[in-house]
Copies of this chain bind each other. A is one copy, B any other.
Amino acid sequence: MARFLRSKKEDIGIAPDALHFRGDKKTDKTRLRVFDYNEETLTEMEVEKVSELLKYRGTNSTSWINIDGLYDTELLEALATDFNIESLALSDILDTHMRPKVHEYDTCILISVKMLRYDEALEEIIAENLVLILKENLLLTFQEQVGDVFNPIRERLRKNKKRIRSAGPDYLAFALLDIVIDNYIYLISLLGEQIEALDDELIQNPSMDNLREINDLKSEINFLRKNVKPCREMVLKFTKLDSDLIDEGMYVHFQELQNNIDMANEAVDGYREILSDQLNVFHTNVTNRLNDILKFLTIFSVIFIPLTFIAGVYGTNFDHIPELHFRYSYFIMLGVMLLIASGMIIYFKRKKWL
């Protein structure tokens, strides 16, 4: 899991349109992948140079160019020039620590959002900045490294699902955002499953491991929340865009995005509260269990205290202790001790202390 906030001293004071990559170098090579499609045909290919992409400008078909790796700023600059993306938008692409945002530039719409996915190899949640550049008949997506959550969309494109193949890049952008938000909900539900599984354990058999687990889940929920919460604002702004690049008919889908991100937010907040409650229950329960043990042990000791005292009294070496010389004194003492112990046990039971 990444750090909650990261800011490097050398990133401060850079001009807003400087082409300065603020992320961590995660890959050297930039991978360029193209899907060019319309209702009839689909071309899927990986290219090496930006120049190979030029033919996808100004076609009637919809082109989706997926760029993985942001370290080669020269290549990106060439891309920006060829596809007419202004430099401010390009510097937004490179600022991978940016808050989710939507901006309508003169030449394009830029959407920046955090893409979260569970990496099964690393066993952790990966957060990566994703930028969508929407132009006429063209969608460019930029991310830091290879690996994304878009395979279902690629499948739908390949399988010639009528809806997606006949629609433009605005629908594709919606579909990608939709899948990003669906993944938020999926990740939250994964954590939620672990959180709800804790419930019974915390009541029946609380241990220090539970404390550690609650704490870990809390950090993970906080991490999700930090990424999901500002996304809500972004989606709200997105649904209010009034641009020629977005078809009238899309707005009904945007409602869906809004509903889903609201659901994600509510679920994150709900689980945060559940975790707080669980910590309370853990604390109360651990304290109660220990208290029960201490109570038992204390009562156990208390019963022996007067008995040991009596034995002590008859262990004294006074010359004249009449009781010492009666025949059954010893047995009487043992009997009295038994009586005292029983009396105390009965008393404690009556008081419900045992």
Contact = CB atoms under 8 A, between A and B. Distances in A.
Interface stretch (A51-59, A132-140, A207-215, A238-246): A207-215
B330 A316 contact: yes
Contacts of A311: 309, 312-313, 315-316
Interface stretch (A39-47, A61-69, A74-82, A276-284): A276-284
A298 B293 CA distance: 10
Interface string A268-288: 001101100101111111111
A122 interface: no
A131 to B, nearest CB: 14
A295 B293 contact: yes
Contacts of A248: none
Given A273-B222, A281-B211, A295 B290 contact: yes
Contact of A196 (B3, B163, B203): B3
B304 A304 contact: no
**A interface, size bucket:** 35 or more
Contacts of A4: 192, 196, 267, 270-271, 274
Contacts of A325: 319
Interface of A: 3-9, 11-17, 88, 98-99, 101, 103, 105, 149-153, 155-156, 161, 163-164, 175, 178-179, 182-183, 185-186, 188-189, 192-193, 196, 199, 203, 208, 211-212, 215, 218-219, 222, 226, 229-230, 252-253, 255-256, 259-260, 262-263, 266-267, 270-271, 273-274, 277, 279-288, 290-291, 293-295, 297-302, 304-309, 311-321, 323-330, 333-334, 353
9 contacts: A7-B189, A13-B178, A15-B164, A211-B281, A290-B295, A311-B316, A312-B315, A318-B329, A320-B328
